[in-house]
């Protein structure tokens, strides 16, 4: 009798996990005490090589995605490859998993790096096999053929304002415009905006604008050694006593310049405002990619991800931030802003 009492709970437990069909096939049911795989939507991001930690564009993408994911209860997987080859391997793994998934979990893959453009455009059609998979490709003005959404942030207008304000606010000899490479679209257009804004006005101090590319390779110039940054800074001087203002449109390479600049040197912050206690960065050109990422994930959550959109100064995706110093008289620059918006829209036929 005691043995029978002991067997009953065991037999009940077996019945909870095993049952049979009318045909006699055995079905094993999952253990309810085991943690089940999450069915929450998953957002996966693959960045450029060693790009997180740039205190700029990529870090803002990370923050924007995490903020939106927390709001919606989404899972995130944010990957930073150590090499281009590892990045390609990550991409292949993501595409393979997304195209072959047999569940109904919604998956969004975000690609913020143009270095993998060829791979993405050759493989985005693979996601058509999965109705629950989506792709968002950043910083390209060329929409994808087939499945996937694209967005482009137009930096021309904000950089136009930055170039104009550098003439107004900085009393120095040389403006050094440092560009990553002559092939990355947003870099080239940002540089052209700054030059046009710089030439749109004059100041009492005669300034010389020098332009320097860090790389002649597509996708290059976003990483820089401090020693190279110091050499470029020194070479920009016409005379040893010259003051040089650095405008770094080169992603994470900007950090090398911020480290080597002498005390009280001039600097234009790009993508994000960073406070430097011993560097004068009154003018800062901002790209609000964190807010754009939140907006796009909200759209994806609602199932309304647009095929393509271009954002700019009018949308607030880019802007100017003037840091507060007691010796700077902060002014309302609405006239300049409207001029920059008009120039930006005329340029791109908006």
- Please tell me the least confidently modeled range out of 9-18, 24-33, 172-181, 242-251: 9-18
What are the structure tokens assigned to 93, written together?
A: 């793994």
Residue range 185-221, pLDDT digits in tens: 999 999 999 999 999 988 767 889 999 999 999 889 9
Question: Which among 324, 319, 243 has a CA at the least distance from the CA of 282?
Answer: 324
Count the residues in the chain.
350
- Please tell me the least confidently modeled range out of 316-320, 332-336, 338-342: 332-336
Interacting residues of 329 by C-beta distance below 8 A, sequence separation 6+: none
CB 249 within 8 A of CB 185: no
Please say if the pLDDT value at position 8 is more than 80.
no
For residues 329-334, give the mean pLDDT.
73
Residue range 14-57, pLDDT digits in tens: 434 444 545 555 444 555 666 667 789 999 999 998 888 888 89
- Please tell me the least confidently modeled range out of 60-69, 198-207, 252-261: 198-207
Give the relative orientation of helices 185-199 and 156-169 as an angle to the nearest 10 degrees: 40
Beta partners for 322? 283
Alpha carbons 55 and 252: distance in angstroms, whole number: 8
Question: Which among 181, 177, 261, 255 has a CA at the least distance from the CA of 214?
Answer: 181
Alpha carbons 36 and 116: distance in angstroms, whole number: 34
Alpha carbons 204 and 202: distance in angstroms, whole number: 7
Q: Which domains does the chain have, with CATH numbers?
A: 42-154+291-311 (3.40.50.2300), 156-287+316-348 (3.40.50.2300)
What are the structure tokens assigned to 170, written together?
A: 């900085």
With 0-12 / 13-18 / 19 or more C-beta atoms within 10 angstroms meaning exposed / middle / buried, residue 132 is middle
pLDDT at 34: 60
3-state secondary structure of 256: helix
Residue range 123-138, pLDDT digits in tens: 999 999 999 999 999 9
What are the structure tokens assigned to 157, written together?
A: 């207008």
| DSSP states of 260-284 | HPPTTEEE-EEES----TTEE--EE
Question: Which residue has better confidence, 143 or 4?
Answer: 143
């Amino acid at each position: 009798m005691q043995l029978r009492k002991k067997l009953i709970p065991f037999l009940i437990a077996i019945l909870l996990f095993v049952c049979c069909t009318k045909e006699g096939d055995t079905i094993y049911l999952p253990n309810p005490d085991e943690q089940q795989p999450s069915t929450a939507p998953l957002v996966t991001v693959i960045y450029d090589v060693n790009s997180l930690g740039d205190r700029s564009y990529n870090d803002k993408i990370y923050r924007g995605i995490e903020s939106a994911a927390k709001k919606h209860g989404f899972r995130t997987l944010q990957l930073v490859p150590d090499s281009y080859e590892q990045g390609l391997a990550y991409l292949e793994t993501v595409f393979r998993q997304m195209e072959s998934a047999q569940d109904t979990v919604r998956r969004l893959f975000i690609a913020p790096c143009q270095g993998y453009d060829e791979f993405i455009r050759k493989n985005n059609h693979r996601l058509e096999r999965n109705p629950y998979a989506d792709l968002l490709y950043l910083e390209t003005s060329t929409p994808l053929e087939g499945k996937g959404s694209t967005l482009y942030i137009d930096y021309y207008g904000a950089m136009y304002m930055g170039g104009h304000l550098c003439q107004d606010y900085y009393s120095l000899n040389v403006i050094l415009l440092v560009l990553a490479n002559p092939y990355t679209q947003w870099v080239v257009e940002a540089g052209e905006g700054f030059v046009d804004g710089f030439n749109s006005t004059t100041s009492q101090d005669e300034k010389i604008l020098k332009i320097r590319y860090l790389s002649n390779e597509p996708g290059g110039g976003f990483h820089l050694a401090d020693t190279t940054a110091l050499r470029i800074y020194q070479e920009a001087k016409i005379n040893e006593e010259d003051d040089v203002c650095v405008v770094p449109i080169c992603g994470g390479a900007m950090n090398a310049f911020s480290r080597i600049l002498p005390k009280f040197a001039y600097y234009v912050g790009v993508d994000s405002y960073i406070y430097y206690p011993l560097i004068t960065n009154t003018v800062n050109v901002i790209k609000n990619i964190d807010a754009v990422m939140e907006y796009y994930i909200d759209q994806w959550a609602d199932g309304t991800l647009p095929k393509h959109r271009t954002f700019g100064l009018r949308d607030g995706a880019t802007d100017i931030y003037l840091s507060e110093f007691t010796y700077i008289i902060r002014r309302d620059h609405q006239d300049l802003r409207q001029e920059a918006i008009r120039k930006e829209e005329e340029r791109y036929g908006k």
